[in-house]
Structure 1
């Protein structure tokens, strides 16, 4: 899988993702606080969004809050967290170390009677000085009425997420003013 650098929010943030990912803003309007990418041959999506910092001081609890909020927004009938870990930023820049959560949500899409099983990968970069939580999420539909993801695509998506998280760098903190 080939990766390429993408500029987010006018270049204030950069990260690397699969070169096959499509910038959704080329297809439709995306809210100003979001950057959205999709794979051309699946329902996998990557979203980076700038959110107001949640009140939880504990970074893992804040990350769980964002996961629960996403479950609510997705109208998930159930959700479960598999793991929560911190990945140290050892690059020497000022980008906060992300807290990474992996979980599952069961979601009924498009009024379907069958639940979709969605693997959620979530990384939260807490920019405390600017009162911001930068949230990078990936939605990987594992089982849907239309399609089940194969092991190769699943592993590629996970690698893409890991590359995006490890390479995400905040260049201009004035973005958060």
Structure 2
């Protein structure tokens, strides 16, 4: 596996360590100012970092479930499954919030096809206190795909390892981003 590469998000307000071969989707298409989107060059895996309005719940498990359910709604998912929710504490001593993590799956129809794709979802929620912001990182990892974009077991393992590196290394450098 290639060594992770430092990468600036949102003009350097956030830094992460990512796989070096990720493709920045903004080089290929329009991406909203509230998002950073990356793709794996050799599969249908996508990564979305999104600045969202904080959801009502003060319980972070409920809040990440809300974001997962919202993604399922946006994807027109036929079924969803939450496998586990846990916390990765930030023990670096900076002000970046700890990450609430959700591992789940969604059955997502694409292009009006009758057989939906099976997509593993790795999601992290960083609740930015005092800014009414939820920073959400989502890795979408297709494990069965009608159009052949599915990831094999090694690809799933790589995506999960990349997700863990991404989330554990995420550092908010400039909280002014959320003004």
Range class of TM-score, shorter chain: over 0.9
The alignment partner of 1:111 has SS state of coil
Match of 1:70 in 2: 71
TM-score, reference length from structure 2: 0.97
Describe the superposition over 1:32-60 as per-residue Cα deviations: whole angstroms up to 9, x where unpaired. Answer: 00000000111000100000000001011
1:146 Cα deviation (Å)?
Answer: 2.6
Asked if residue 55 in structure 1 is aligned to residue 56 in structure 2, the reply is yes
Q: Shift of the alpha carbon at 1:145?
A: 1.3
Which residue pairs with 2:16 in the alignment? 15
- What are the ranges of 5 or more consecutive residues in structure 2 without an aligned counterpart? none
Q: 2:161 aligns with which of 153, 159, 162?
A: 159
Q: Tell me the TM-score normalized by structure 1.
A: 0.98
Q: What CA deviation, in whole Å up to 9, does each residue of 1:5-52 have, x standing for no partner?
A: 110000000101111110001111100000000001110001000000
Question: Does the 8 Å contact 1:80/1:103 carry over to 2?
Answer: yes
- Alignment RMSD (CA, Å): 0.7
Matching residue of 1:26: 27
Q: Tell whether the 8 Å contact from 2:44 to 2:151 is kept in structure 1 after alignment.
A: no
Within a 5 Å distance, the mapping from 1:131-150 to structure 2 comes to 131-147=132-148, 148-150=150-152
Quote the residue 1:172 is aligned against. 174
Alpha-carbon distance, 1:83 to partner: 0.2
Q: Is the 8 A contact 1:53 1:128 kept in 2?
A: no
Runs of 4+ in 1 over 3 A off after TM superposition: none
Give SS of 2:161's match. helix
**Does 2:126 match 1:125?**
yes
In structure 1, list runs of 5 or more residues that go unmatched: none
Mapped to 1, the partners of 2:44 and 2:109 lie a distance apart of 14
